[in-house]
Amino acid sequence: MTASRRKLNSAGKRFTHQRALIMDIIRQGEGHLDADEIFRRAREKEPRLSLSTVYRTLQMMKELELVDELHFGENHHHYEVKPTKEHYHLVCLGCGRVIEFSYPLSRYLKKEVPELKDFDIDETEIRVAGHCNLCRRTRR
């Protein structure tokens, strides 16, 4: 039994074909997919699937901490499978490309900031915006 299936079952939710399909699309997606792209890809395999089912499933998966909902400064959200290790995102303001990277910054934040500011940190989300190498070349 997969971890996703166990988590759904322990929350009293069924592991349906549609939920498995949506999770597989997110897991296999190149980059960070938004709900419309997840819906488009899912409809290719399951034509009767509705957009509202995709949104409800994404919300449930987010609540069960199976996926992360990411905000890249756009009017919609992107989704990725809940990562096992912390990472951050470089977002290109030119083309919208998202590049993941790891950096020990969160260790500092989680160690130093609580002591300095009397604040408990539950999670960190860092988004760095700029221009990728391709967009920099075309801007010159």
pLDDT tens track for 15-41: 899 999 999 999 887 778 899 999 999
Asked whether the predicted pLDDT for residue 58 surpasses 70, the reply is: yes
Within 8 A by CB and 6+ apart from 80, the residues are 26, 32, 67, 68, 70
Compute the distance between CA of residue 75 and CA of residue 85 in angstroms, rounded to an integer: 27
Instruction: Indicate whether 67 and 124 sit together in one domain.
Output: no
Kindly report the pTM of this predicted structure.
Answer: 0.74
Asked whether the predicted pLDDT for residue 61 surpasses 60, the reply is: yes
Instruction: Indicate whether 61 and 104 sit together in one domain.
Output: no
Query: What is the structure's pLDDT at 70?
Result: 83
Mean pLDDT over the full length of the chain: 86
Write out the residue range of the structural domain in which residue 27 sits. 3-81
- At 103, the pLDDT band (50, 70, 90 cuts) reads confident
User: 1 versus 114: which is more confidently predicted?
Assistant: 114
Q: Are 70 and 79 in contact (CB under 8 A)?
A: yes
Instruction: Indicate whether 56 and 118 sit together in one domain.
Output: no
CATH code of residue 12: 1.10.10.10
Type of residue found at 32: H
Model confidence over 62-96: pLDDT tens digits?
Answer: 999 899 888 776 667 888 888 777 788 888 888 88
Token pair of 132, please?
Answer: 């990728």
Instruction: Indicate whether 93 and 76 sit together in one domain.
Output: no
Query: What is the structure's pLDDT at 43?
Result: 96
Instruction: Indicate whether 101 and 55 sit together in one domain.
Output: no
Q: In which order are the strands placed within the sheet that holds 88-92?
A: 98-101, 88-92, 127-130
> How many domains, in total, are found in the chain?
2
**If you write DSSP's letter for every residue of 29-84 in order, what string do you get?**
-SS-EEHHHHHHHHHHH-TT--HHHHHHHHHHHHHTTSEEEE--SSSS-EEEEPPS
Query: What is the structure's pLDDT at 12?
Result: 87
Instruction: Indicate whether 40 and 109 sit together in one domain.
Output: no
Examine the fold and report which residue of 33, 52, 81 is the final residue of a domain before the chain moves on: 81
